[in-house]
Structure 1
Amino acid sequence: MTTTRSLPRGEPTLTRLRVATTLFFALGGFLFAGWAVRIPALKEQVGASPGPLGLALLCMTGSAVLTMAVTGGLCRRFGSRQVTIAAAALLSVSVVLPALTHSAPVLGLSLIVFGIAYGGIDVAANSVAVDVIAALRRPVMPGFHAANSFGSLAGAALGGVLAPHLTPLPHMLLLMPVGLAATVVGGRMLMALPLPAAPAPARAAGVGSLARRVSVPVVVFGLIGLFAAYSQGALDNWMPLHLSEDIGAGQAVAAAGYAVIQLTMGLMRLAGSRLLERLGPTRVVVTGGLVACAGTLVAAQTNSVPVAFAALVATGLGLANIFPTAMAQAGAAGGPGGIALAATLGYCGILVAPPSIGLLADAFGLPAGLSLIALAAALAALVSWPARSLATVRPADRKGPT
């Protein structure tokens, strides 16, 4: 086992490392949201129907998932900080590529590069966070993920302001230098300071843990994570399009709808620890899944923008803590190997969300396609309730957000 040098919580070095890590989490959300809120404009630019657009989005999620599978090895070989910085730089540049395209196939090719960058920064930044958390001896991972949500909120808000005035290309050309500047600032902070190494068990499970990784609780919580990730990924990709095309909202209002989801999820994640302590993981997932299901159905069927926004608030509040809770429970059941398996299942949900909804939307309309989000949220609740005997909250989990 690797020995970790314990640093005082108030030491400036550790505080700056935490700030730098938070910056990269926020940057990933900011750049992704800046692209996501322009999907309606990009759809019009390339002249794609929902089906081809869904396949183009599949290129992004597919490349992201494949990159996630190999980024852990890259972090071990080159260092998690170095990979984080490289992925952030690539993400800042590749956000421009989709705005240069004028056909669905070329859009898909450009999104492969964007997906590689996004998948890389997702895993690498989390790897850095594991080391920082080990040194802090505090469960602050939800704070990092909340930063991602609030970064997404900022990106969506900026997109809402710029959408009526700029086409996607100048918008993305504004995001690129912001991303590169943040990468330089955050990268200098990361590389200039010593990064305490996390204990070996916190990084990967050994070969002997295979049975634990595929245990029934791990698979069950992994399925819950899959349904939650499916819902979140589908909302990111399709809800702005639904608001603009089916309800008749402008691009700025559609971007605001995306921002509403990110804001409610971010705020609810900050309260996640107290909810788990008071209600327990099963009630958090069941209640959240049912609320998200109802919210999505209302948002998909209404013709009123205010009603749709109220429904999106309910959807964000309901979904916020399902995925984090599922990952925490999988970790309690199977250790780091359990988290790895459950996370893989979760990202499979993100992978299949865009094409499945796109194909159903082609056949029956986007409101019908969005019903799959409601179904996934309901399935998360349905699976969680009979699995309540498998759920555990360890005393350590109660010290901070999960």
Structure 2
Amino acid sequence: MTDILTRRQLHAWRNAIFVVFALSGISIASWVARLPAVRDQLSLDTAQIGVLIFAMSAGSVLGLIAAPPVMLRIGARGGMVLSLCLVATGTVVIGLGTSVLSSAVVVGAGLAVFGFGNGSVDVMMNVEGAAAERAIGKTLMPLMHAFFSFGTVAGAGLGALASALSIDVAVHLSVIAAIIVVSVLVAIRFVPRGVEADDPELLAPRVPFKERLLASLAVWKDLRLLAIGVIMLGMAFAEGSANDWLTIAVADGYQQSNTTAAVVFGVFTVSMTLGRVAGGPVLDRFGRVPVLRVSALLGVLGILIFIFGAPMPWLAYVGAAFWALGCSLGFPVGMSAAADTDDPKQSAARVSAVAIIGYVAFLVGPPVIGLLGHQFGILPALLLVLVLVALAGVFSPAARERARGGATPSSLPSH
């Protein structure tokens, strides 16, 4: 099907997926930017916030699980619309639960729906993005993930503006929800139908479930893959913890306003975006291992500055910037390293294995930080993030490029 699309249609398809990635980023950053306001209006402590975040995490896991059968049933095109509409619905419920009903239970329910939608759209937009990449014949996935970061920058900026203008949380999040729905309905018109049918893996004969299960489990015996998983664990934990706790840490640990907290989060998202945009050329020039080592060093330095800089609020900005740069490339580099194998048939299983580790860190990490923060304070709780980032740096040699007929790092694919 994709071979009959014109170049203009292919580019429109690519741009539509850019929009979907950006909308997911906007939704997540909007919630994070208003988290301090949600906490204040509902009079929640750190442990209770951790429970709310766990509701979102649980919804995200269910969304990840549900995505494949949903795509099989209605396709990625329809699935992305459905998922982002669920994200928008959850966003509205979060706002209503905060400002109108003053109910943590309602907010938790909204976060569960919000998480489900974001978990499922995460799978679908990557599948569709990979299909567009194959059809166009150029490496596009790193840029697509950069658009997610662009979305977080926009969401953080709008959140900071809404906080500065004292805009009600329900009003702000309802506007964001409307933007998400309208944008996806406009963009989805440029995504061709039934692209999944072009995927040779989906056309291949079905392998019995037992054989597929054994093949998937076999990759877990690979010690190098497990070491790559440690890299993914540390970097994904650092990114996920920042997404959910950075604003609270600034508001509580630094005793700053909710607006300032949102601005610091904006610095984090901008730095994350810059790291991902520049990551491809840097990886091509220096290779994975040196880049991961320097990234881990930057991450550790940034987290240290952030934790111990509380007497001087300007250090929160510096710490957030280094923290973001440090963990910006961990997830894409880990995925690329996992796929780097002599047996192409093992690539999917290997990528799936490290993706599971990464997503567990994304989803489980924030509630763990919440429980530790309740016991020891939010800034000391972030020491766990520092330890895991340092551990990722120690295991960075596992991501080394495999030699292939004299290939050099600059000739190997990177993300």
Give the TM-score, by structure 1 length. Answer: 0.92
Task: Measure the CA separation in 2 of the matches of 1:65 and 1:391.
Answer: 31
User: How big is the shift at 1:151?
Assistant: 0.6
User: How big is the shift at 1:96?
Assistant: 1.4
Give the match for residue 277 of structure 1. 284
Give the match for residue 170 of structure 1. 171
DSSP 3-state at the match of 1:392: coil
- 2:236 is the counterpart of 1:213: no
User: How big is the shift at 1:93?
Assistant: 2.2
DSSP 3-state at the match of 1:95: helix
Task: Measure the CA separation in 2 of the matches of 1:383 and 1:104.
Answer: 40
Conserved 8 A contact 1:27-1:148: yes
Give the match for residue 69 of structure 1. 65
Task: Measure the CA separation in 2 of the matches of 1:357 and 1:121.
Answer: 26
C-alpha distance 138-196 of structure 1, shift in aligned 2 (>3 A) = farther
Equivalences for residues 378-389 of structure 1 within 5 A:
378-385=390-397, 387=398
Give the match for residue 392 of structure 1. 402
User: How big is the shift at 1:100?
Assistant: 2.1
C-alpha distance 94-398 of structure 1, shift in aligned 2 (>3 A) = farther
User: How big is the shift at 1:296?
Assistant: 0.9
User: How big is the shift at 1:265?
Assistant: 1.2
User: How big is the shift at 1:357?
Assistant: 0.9
2:359 to 321, 344, 347: 347
Equivalences for residues 1-400 of structure 1 within 5 A:
5-6=2-3, 11-101=7-97, 102-164=102-164, 165-191=166-192, 197-200=198-201, 207=212, 209-210=215-216, 213-214=219-220, 215-303=222-310, 304-333=312-341, 334-385=346-397, 387=398, 391-392=401-402, 398=411
**Runs of 4 or more off by more than 6 Å in structure 1?**
192-196, 201-206
Task: Measure the CA separation in 2 of the matches of 1:279 and 1:21.
Answer: 30
Structure 1, unmatched stretches of 5+, are: none
Task: Measure the CA separation in 2 of the matches of 1:219 and 1:324.
Answer: 16
Conserved 8 A contact 2:9-2:190: no
Deviations 1:44-72 (A, max 9, x none): 12221101110110110121022102212
C-alpha distance 202-103 of structure 1, shift in aligned 2 (>3 A) = farther
Task: Measure the CA separation in 1 of the matches of 2:117 and 2:89.
Answer: 9
CA RMSD of superposed structures (Å): 2.5
User: How big is the shift at 1:137?
Assistant: 2.1
User: How big is the shift at 1:194?
Assistant: 6.7
C-alpha distance 373-79 of structure 1, shift in aligned 2 (>3 A) = same
DSSP 3-state at the match of 1:166: coil
Identity among equivalent positions (%) equals 26
C-alpha distance 194-339 of structure 1, shift in aligned 2 (>3 A) = closer
C-alpha distance 124-393 of structure 1, shift in aligned 2 (>3 A) = farther
Task: Measure the CA separation in 2 of the matches of 1:335 and 1:204.
Answer: 18
User: How big is the shift at 1:249?
Assistant: 2.1
Deviations 1:276-300 (A, max 9, x none): 1222111111211121011012112
Task: Measure the CA separation in 2 of the matches of 1:201 and 1:384.
Answer: 34
User: How big is the shift at 1:273?
Assistant: 1.7
Conserved 8 A contact 2:298-2:323: yes
Amino acid at match of 1:314: F
C-alpha distance 212-271 of structure 1, shift in aligned 2 (>3 A) = farther
Task: Measure the CA separation in 2 of the matches of 1:205 and 1:236.
Answer: 39
Using the TM superposition, name which of 262-271 and 96-105 deviates more: 96-105
C-alpha distance 236-46 of structure 1, shift in aligned 2 (>3 A) = same
Conserved 8 A contact 1:47-1:103: no
Deviations 1:114-136 (A, max 9, x none): 11111111111111111111112
C-alpha distance 227-259 of structure 1, shift in aligned 2 (>3 A) = same
C-alpha distance 187-201 of structure 1, shift in aligned 2 (>3 A) = closer
Task: Measure the CA separation in 1 of the matches of 2:143 and 2:373.
Answer: 36
User: How big is the shift at 1:392?
Assistant: 3.0
DSSP 3-state at the match of 1:96: helix
User: How big is the shift at 1:7?
Assistant: 6.7
C-alpha distance 209-137 of structure 1, shift in aligned 2 (>3 A) = farther
Structure 2, unmatched stretches of 5+, are: none
